[in-house]
Structure 1
């Protein structure tokens, strides 16, 4: 049996238009509520300031903006990379 192999180009794209915004305390791992609009992003900023006020030694936070991606093969046949 013969096999034909070809190089396939792949691309990444958004799997969903939904984006999640939230913040997490580096010290304890507690996280802000998740919001799905850039306009509501202030929710996580206010949460971080309130968390720091309630826990004076918790001064470091990570801000997250999360989106889902999907990998899709291109339908065209490409040449294999030469490098």
Structure 2
């Protein structure tokens, strides 16, 4: 195991493994991980401690910041996948 893999949380490792199982492209994997990280940082909690209302609140926040649908859609897909 490399140092990079050792630093990955079990939750992130599981998400990466699940994305690989579904044969998602590396670009999609990076996008999904980035979206879940932004979601988690917005609330200051681990994403596994957040619920559906938090997802909705995050989407409302992003729209209030002027995000376009083409930019929002990958985040919606990532959170649905997560």
TM-score (norm 1): 0.28
Which has the greater radius of gyration? 1
> Hey, which of these two has a bigger chunk of strand by percent?
1
Q: Per chain length, whose mean CA-contact separation is higher, i.e. which structure has more relative contact order (CA < 8 Å, sep 6+)?
A: 1
> Hey, which of these two has a bigger chunk of helix by percent?
2
